[in-house]
Amino acid sequence: MEPGRGLPVAARCRIPCGVRTVRPYLLWFAAAVLLTFALVRAAEWLRAHPQHNPYARFELAHPQGWATHRKLTALVRDDAACFAAFDRAGARYERRPVVGEGVCRASQRMIVAQGGRLPVLSPAAAAPGCAVTAALLLWDRDIVQPLARRHFGQRVARLDNLGSYNCRRIAGQGAQSEHSTANAIDISAFILADGTRVSLLDHWSDTGAKGAFLRDVRDRSCGLFGTLLSPDYNAAHADHFHIDMAVRTAGWTVCR
Ligand SMILES: [Zn+2]
Protein backbone atom coordinates (compact mmCIF):
# COMPACT_ATOMS: atom_id res chain seq x y z
CA MET A 1 0.00 0.00 0.00
CA GLU A 2 1.34 3.44 -0.95
CA PRO A 3 2.19 5.77 1.91
CA GLY A 4 -0.70 8.00 2.71
CA ARG A 5 -3.23 5.94 0.71
CA GLY A 6 -6.42 5.81 2.70
CA LEU A 7 -5.62 8.95 4.71
CA PRO A 8 -7.72 12.11 4.48
CA VAL A 9 -6.59 14.31 1.53
CA ALA A 10 -5.21 17.07 3.77
CA ALA A 11 -3.05 14.55 5.56
CA ARG A 12 -1.47 13.23 2.29
CA CYS A 13 -0.31 16.70 1.06
CA ARG A 14 3.04 17.97 2.28
CA ILE A 15 1.96 21.47 1.10
CA PRO A 16 -1.65 22.48 1.16
CA CYS A 17 -3.29 20.85 -1.85
CA GLY A 18 -5.37 23.98 -2.56
CA VAL A 19 -2.21 26.08 -3.08
CA ARG A 20 -0.67 23.44 -5.40
CA THR A 21 -3.84 23.49 -7.51
CA VAL A 22 -4.34 27.24 -7.65
CA ARG A 23 -0.73 28.38 -8.32
CA PRO A 24 -0.74 27.93 -12.15
CA TYR A 25 -3.98 29.85 -12.39
CA LEU A 26 -2.54 32.63 -10.25
CA LEU A 27 0.44 32.87 -12.59
CA TRP A 28 -1.79 33.01 -15.69
CA PHE A 29 -4.01 35.58 -14.04
CA ALA A 30 -1.02 37.74 -13.09
CA ALA A 31 0.37 37.46 -16.62
CA ALA A 32 -2.98 38.47 -18.11
CA VAL A 33 -3.22 41.47 -15.80
CA LEU A 34 0.32 42.56 -16.70
CA LEU A 35 -0.34 42.10 -20.43
CA THR A 36 -3.58 44.08 -20.23
CA PHE A 37 -1.80 46.83 -18.32
CA ALA A 38 0.99 46.91 -20.92
CA LEU A 39 -1.48 47.04 -23.81
CA VAL A 40 -3.45 49.86 -22.19
CA ARG A 41 -0.25 51.83 -21.58
CA ALA A 42 0.91 51.18 -25.17
CA ALA A 43 -2.44 52.39 -26.53
CA GLU A 44 -2.21 55.53 -24.37
CA TRP A 45 1.34 56.15 -25.58
CA LEU A 46 0.35 55.73 -29.25
CA ARG A 47 -2.55 58.13 -28.76
CA ALA A 48 -0.12 60.70 -27.40
CA HIS A 49 2.41 59.99 -30.21
CA PRO A 50 0.31 59.57 -33.39
CA GLN A 51 3.41 59.94 -35.57
CA HIS A 52 4.33 56.40 -34.49
CA ASN A 53 0.85 54.95 -35.01
CA PRO A 54 0.31 53.66 -38.56
CA TYR A 55 -3.47 53.76 -38.06
CA ALA A 56 -3.59 57.40 -36.93
CA ARG A 57 -4.49 59.96 -39.60
CA PHE A 58 -1.57 61.80 -41.19
CA GLU A 59 -1.28 65.40 -40.08
CA LEU A 60 1.25 67.89 -41.39
CA ALA A 61 1.69 69.29 -37.90
CA HIS A 62 2.79 65.97 -36.41
CA PRO A 63 6.50 65.43 -35.79
CA GLN A 64 8.16 62.65 -37.76
CA GLY A 65 7.88 59.15 -36.33
CA TRP A 66 8.07 55.45 -37.12
CA ALA A 67 4.91 55.56 -39.21
CA THR A 68 5.54 58.82 -41.09
CA HIS A 69 7.01 57.27 -44.24
CA ARG A 70 4.21 54.71 -44.45
CA LYS A 71 1.58 57.43 -44.12
CA LEU A 72 3.24 59.61 -46.74
CA THR A 73 3.39 56.77 -49.27
CA ALA A 74 -0.30 56.02 -48.60
CA LEU A 75 -1.05 59.59 -49.72
CA VAL A 76 0.50 58.89 -53.13
CA ARG A 77 -2.57 56.83 -54.05
CA ASP A 78 -5.15 58.87 -52.16
CA ASP A 79 -5.52 62.34 -53.61
CA ALA A 80 -8.46 63.28 -51.39
CA ALA A 81 -6.67 62.29 -48.16
CA CYS A 82 -3.57 64.19 -49.19
CA PHE A 83 -5.27 67.48 -50.01
CA ALA A 84 -7.46 67.09 -46.91
CA ALA A 85 -4.29 67.03 -44.79
CA PHE A 86 -3.24 70.37 -46.29
CA ASP A 87 -6.76 71.75 -45.73
CA ARG A 88 -6.79 70.68 -42.07
CA ALA A 89 -3.41 72.35 -41.60
CA GLY A 90 -4.78 75.60 -43.06
CA ALA A 91 -2.09 75.58 -45.77
CA ARG A 92 -2.64 77.86 -48.72
CA TYR A 93 -2.05 76.17 -52.04
CA GLU A 94 -3.13 76.03 -55.66
CA ARG A 95 -4.17 72.69 -57.08
CA ARG A 96 -3.04 72.26 -60.67
CA PRO A 97 -5.06 70.49 -63.38
CA VAL A 98 -4.56 66.79 -63.99
CA VAL A 99 -2.13 66.13 -66.81
CA GLY A 100 -1.28 63.00 -68.82
CA GLU A 101 -2.86 59.56 -69.04
CA GLY A 102 -2.06 56.02 -67.94
CA VAL A 103 1.44 55.73 -66.43
CA CYS A 104 1.91 59.44 -67.08
CA ARG A 105 -1.20 60.66 -65.29
CA ALA A 106 -0.40 63.25 -62.63
CA SER A 107 -3.44 64.12 -60.52
CA GLN A 108 -1.82 65.57 -57.38
CA ARG A 109 0.14 68.55 -58.74
CA MET A 110 0.05 71.55 -56.44
CA ILE A 111 1.82 74.83 -55.71
CA VAL A 112 2.12 75.85 -52.06
CA ALA A 113 1.56 79.58 -51.67
CA GLN A 114 4.57 81.79 -51.11
CA GLY A 115 5.08 82.72 -47.50
CA GLY A 116 3.43 79.49 -46.52
CA ARG A 117 4.95 76.45 -44.94
CA LEU A 118 7.65 75.83 -47.55
CA PRO A 119 10.53 77.98 -48.73
CA VAL A 120 9.74 79.37 -52.17
CA LEU A 121 10.14 76.67 -54.81
CA SER A 122 11.79 78.20 -57.85
CA PRO A 123 10.45 77.85 -60.42
CA ALA A 124 7.09 77.45 -58.66
CA ALA A 125 5.52 76.03 -61.81
CA ALA A 126 7.27 72.72 -61.06
CA ALA A 127 4.15 71.82 -59.06
CA PRO A 128 5.14 68.46 -57.56
CA GLY A 129 2.46 66.03 -56.40
CA CYS A 130 0.71 66.38 -53.06
CA ALA A 131 2.41 63.46 -51.31
CA VAL A 132 5.92 64.53 -52.27
CA THR A 133 5.02 68.12 -51.36
CA ALA A 134 3.93 66.93 -47.91
CA ALA A 135 7.26 65.13 -47.53
CA LEU A 136 9.11 68.27 -48.67
CA LEU A 137 7.30 70.23 -45.98
CA LEU A 138 8.45 67.84 -43.23
CA TRP A 139 11.93 67.75 -44.80
CA ASP A 140 12.19 71.53 -44.73
CA ARG A 141 10.84 71.87 -41.19
CA ASP A 142 12.74 69.05 -39.52
CA ILE A 143 15.95 68.71 -41.53
CA VAL A 144 16.76 71.56 -43.94
CA GLN A 145 16.03 74.55 -41.69
CA PRO A 146 17.67 73.16 -38.51
CA LEU A 147 20.79 72.27 -40.52
CA ALA A 148 20.84 75.70 -42.19
CA ARG A 149 20.71 77.33 -38.76
CA ARG A 150 23.49 75.07 -37.53
CA HIS A 151 25.82 75.59 -40.50
CA PHE A 152 24.99 79.17 -41.54
CA GLY A 153 23.06 80.75 -38.66
CA GLN A 154 20.16 81.60 -40.97
CA ARG A 155 17.25 79.98 -42.77
CA VAL A 156 16.83 78.68 -46.30
CA ALA A 157 14.53 81.09 -48.15
CA ARG A 158 14.33 79.38 -51.54
CA LEU A 159 14.69 75.92 -53.03
CA ASP A 160 15.77 75.91 -56.67
CA ASN A 161 14.56 72.94 -58.64
CA LEU A 162 15.04 71.37 -62.05
CA GLY A 163 11.44 70.24 -62.39
CA SER A 164 8.93 67.64 -61.28
CA TYR A 165 6.55 66.32 -63.96
CA ASN A 166 8.31 64.61 -66.85
CA CYS A 167 6.84 61.48 -68.44
CA ARG A 168 9.85 59.28 -69.08
CA ARG A 169 11.59 56.06 -68.15
CA ILE A 170 14.53 55.97 -65.71
CA ALA A 171 17.73 56.53 -67.66
CA GLY A 172 19.37 53.17 -68.41
CA GLN A 173 16.41 51.20 -66.98
CA GLY A 174 13.04 50.06 -68.23
CA ALA A 175 11.08 51.28 -65.23
CA GLN A 176 8.93 54.36 -65.42
CA SER A 177 10.36 57.32 -63.51
CA GLU A 178 8.42 58.76 -60.56
CA HIS A 179 8.66 62.04 -62.48
CA SER A 180 6.05 60.53 -64.81
CA THR A 181 3.35 61.26 -62.22
CA ALA A 182 4.96 64.33 -60.63
CA ASN A 183 5.73 62.12 -57.63
CA ALA A 184 9.30 63.47 -57.67
CA ILE A 185 11.27 66.70 -57.74
CA ASP A 186 14.90 67.54 -58.45
CA ILE A 187 16.36 70.08 -56.01
CA SER A 188 19.45 71.85 -57.37
CA ALA A 189 20.25 74.58 -54.85
CA PHE A 190 19.38 76.08 -51.48
CA ILE A 191 19.22 79.90 -51.34
CA LEU A 192 19.78 81.31 -47.86
CA ALA A 193 17.96 84.33 -46.40
CA ASP A 194 20.94 86.62 -47.17
CA GLY A 195 21.01 85.46 -50.80
CA THR A 196 23.91 83.00 -50.44
CA ARG A 197 23.54 80.17 -52.94
CA VAL A 198 24.47 76.61 -51.93
CA SER A 199 24.31 74.42 -55.01
CA LEU A 200 24.74 70.70 -55.51
CA LEU A 201 26.90 71.21 -58.60
CA ASP A 202 29.29 73.73 -57.05
CA HIS A 203 29.43 72.77 -53.38
CA TRP A 204 28.82 69.02 -52.93
CA SER A 205 32.55 68.39 -52.49
CA ASP A 206 33.20 71.71 -50.75
CA THR A 207 35.29 71.24 -47.59
CA GLY A 208 33.60 74.14 -45.79
CA ALA A 209 30.14 74.74 -44.39
CA LYS A 210 28.37 74.54 -47.76
CA GLY A 211 29.58 71.03 -48.52
CA ALA A 212 28.98 69.88 -44.93
CA PHE A 213 25.43 71.26 -45.07
CA LEU A 214 24.59 69.45 -48.32
CA ARG A 215 26.01 66.13 -47.15
CA ASP A 216 24.27 66.46 -43.78
CA VAL A 217 20.97 67.11 -45.56
CA ARG A 218 21.42 63.94 -47.62
CA ASP A 219 22.39 61.81 -44.61
CA ARG A 220 19.57 63.07 -42.39
CA SER A 221 16.94 62.63 -45.11
CA CYS A 222 17.29 58.88 -45.48
CA GLY A 223 14.04 57.13 -44.60
CA LEU A 224 11.75 60.12 -45.09
CA PHE A 225 11.45 59.91 -48.87
CA GLY A 226 10.93 56.82 -50.99
CA THR A 227 14.10 57.74 -52.85
CA LEU A 228 16.82 60.30 -52.35
CA LEU A 229 19.68 60.26 -54.87
CA SER A 230 22.63 62.61 -54.42
CA PRO A 231 25.76 63.40 -56.47
CA ASP A 232 27.36 60.36 -54.77
CA TYR A 233 24.97 58.08 -56.72
CA ASN A 234 26.10 58.80 -60.27
CA ALA A 235 27.15 61.55 -62.67
CA ALA A 236 23.54 62.09 -63.76
CA HIS A 237 22.83 63.44 -60.26
CA ALA A 238 25.90 65.69 -60.00
CA ASP A 239 23.75 68.82 -59.95
CA HIS A 240 20.69 67.85 -57.90
CA PHE A 241 19.02 65.78 -55.22
CA HIS A 242 16.44 63.53 -56.85
CA ILE A 243 13.60 63.18 -54.34
CA ASP A 244 10.51 61.01 -54.78
CA MET A 245 7.83 59.16 -52.85
CA ALA A 246 8.10 55.83 -54.68
CA VAL A 247 5.94 53.14 -53.07
CA ARG A 248 7.97 49.96 -52.56
CA THR A 249 7.18 46.55 -51.12
CA ALA A 250 7.54 46.47 -47.33
CA GLY A 251 8.28 50.19 -47.29
CA TRP A 252 11.89 49.96 -48.43
CA THR A 253 13.54 53.29 -49.15
CA VAL A 254 16.59 54.17 -51.24
CA CYS A 255 19.13 56.75 -50.08
CA ARG A 256 22.37 57.06 -52.00
ZN1 LIG B 1 14.67 63.28 -60.54
Structure confidence by residue, pLDDT tens digits, 197-252: 999 999 999 999 999 999 999 999 999 999 999 999 999 999 999 999 999 888 88
Q: Are residues 16 and 126 in the same domain?
A: no
Q: Is residue 125 part of a domain?
A: yes
Q: Is residue 167 part of a domain?
A: yes
Q: Is residue 188 part of a domain?
A: yes
145 CA to centre of ligand 1 in angstroms: 22
8 CA to centre of ligand 1 in angstroms: 86
Q: Are residues 119 and 31 in the same domain?
A: no
Q: Are residues 25 and 77 in the same domain?
A: no
- How far is residue 119's CA from residue 141's CA, in Å, rounded to a whole number? 10
134 CA to centre of ligand 1 in angstroms: 17
CB 248 within 8 A of CB 223: no
DSSP-based three-state secondary structure for 116: coil
Tens of pLDDT along 151-207? 999 999 999 999 999 998 887 777 889 999 999 999 999 999 999 999 999 999 999
70 CA to centre of ligand 1 in angstroms: 21
How many structural domains comprise the chain? 2
Domain span at residue 68 reads: 56-255
What is the arithmetic mean of pLDDT over 17-25?
65
CA quadruple 185, 255, 130, 198: dihedral sign: negative
Pairing of the two strands 184-192 and 156-161: antiparallel
Rounded to the nearest integer, the mean pLDDT of the chain is 90
14 CA to centre of ligand 1 in angstroms: 78
Q: What is the pTM of this model?
A: 0.85
Q: Quickly list DSSP for 29-49.
A: HHHHHHHHHHHHHHHHHHHH-
CB 76 within 8 A of CB 106: no
187 CA to centre of ligand 1 in angstroms: 8
Pairing of the two strands 184-192 and 197-199: antiparallel
Q: Are residues 104 and 218 in the same domain?
A: yes
Q: Are residues 240 and 193 in the same domain?
A: yes
β partners of residue 197: 191
Q: Which residues of 85-108 are buried (b: 16+ CB within 10 A; e: fewer)?
A: bbeeeebebeebeeeeeeebebeb
Q: Are residues 28 and 136 in the same domain?
A: no
164 CA to centre of ligand 1 in angstroms: 7
Q: Is residue 2 part of a domain?
A: no
